[in-house]
A and B are shown apart, each in its own frame.
Chain A
Amino acid sequence: MKKSDYTILIADDDPDYLFQTVFNLERAGYKTMAVESQAEAEAVIAKSRPDLAIFDLMMESDDSGFILCYKMKRKYPEVPVILATAVSHETGLSFSIDSEQEKSWIRADRYLEKGIRAEQLDQEIMKLLKL
Chain B
Amino acid sequence: MAVLKVLVIDDEPGIRSGVSRILNNFHVTYPFMDEDYNFEVTEAATGEEGISILERDMPDILLLDNKLPGIQGVEVLEYIRNRKYDIVVAMITSYASLDIAVRATRDGAIDFIPKPFTPQELKSSIENITKQQYLKRITHKMNQEGKKIRYQFLSVLSHELKAPLNALEGYLRMMQEKQAGDMVDDYATPIERSLQRIQGMRNLIMDLLDLTKIQLEVKEGKIREVNLAEVASAAITTVQPYAIQMDVTINLDVRSDVVIMADPGDIEIIFNNLVSNAVKYNKMGGKAEIVIDNSDSEAIIIISDTGIGITKNDVENLFTEFVRIKNEKTRNISGSGLGLSIVRKVIELYHGTINVESTPDVGTTFTIRLPKKPINIT
A32 within 8 Å of B (CB atoms):
no
- Interface locus among A19-27, A43-51, A67-75, A123-131: A19-27
Q: Which residues of A contact B162 (CB under 8 A)?
A: 86-87, 114
Q: 1/0 per position for B141-175, CB-CB distance to A under 8 A?
A: 00000000000001100110011011101110110
B197 within 8 Å of A (CB atoms):
yes
Closest to B170 in A: A20
Closest to A93 in B: B155
B179 within 8 Å of A (CB atoms):
yes
Q: Which residues of A contact B255 (CB under 8 A)?
A: none
| Contact (Cβ within 8 A) B326 A13 | yes
Q: Which residues of A contact B140 (CB under 8 A)?
A: none
| Contact (Cβ within 8 A) A91 B155 | yes
| Contact (Cβ within 8 A) B326 A16 | no
| Contact (Cβ within 8 A) A17 B331 | no
Q: 1/0 per position for A1-26, CB-CB distance to B under 8 A?
A: 00000000000011111011001100
Within the complex, what minimum Cβ distance (angstroms) separates A113 from chain B?
Answer: 10
A102 within 8 Å of B (CB atoms):
no
Cα distance A27–B166 when bound, in Å? 19
B180 within 8 Å of A (CB atoms):
yes
Within the complex, what minimum Cβ distance (angstroms) separates A91 from chain B?
Answer: 4
| Contact (Cβ within 8 A) B166 A114 | yes
Cα distance A19–B193 when bound, in Å? 10
Q: Which residues of A contact B193 (CB under 8 A)?
A: 15-16, 19
Q: Which residues of B contact A90 (CB under 8 A)?
A: 154-155, 158-159
Q: Which residues of A contact B159 (CB under 8 A)?
A: 58, 86-87, 90-91
| Contact (Cβ within 8 A) B166 A115 | yes
Q: 1/0 per position for A104-123, CB-CB distance to B under 8 A?
A: 00000000001101100000
A36 within 8 Å of B (CB atoms):
yes
Cα distance A114–B166 when bound, in Å? 7
Within the complex, what minimum Cβ distance (angstroms) separates B204 from chain A?
Answer: 14
A60 within 8 Å of B (CB atoms):
yes
* 24 A-B pairs (CB sep. < 8 Å): A13-B326, A15-B331, A16-B167, A16-B170, A16-B171, A16-B197, A17-B167, A19-B193, A20-B167, A20-B171, A20-B174, A23-B179, A23-B180, A24-B179, A37-B326, A58-B159, A59-B326, A86-B162, A86-B163, A86-B166, A90-B154, A90-B158, A114-B162, A117-B173
Chain B residues with a Cβ under 8 A of chain A: 154-155, 158-159, 162-163, 165-167, 169-171, 173-174, 179-180, 189, 193, 197, 326, 331
Q: Which 5 A-B pairs have the closest CB atoms?
A: A16-B167, A20-B170, A90-B158, A91-B155, A115-B166
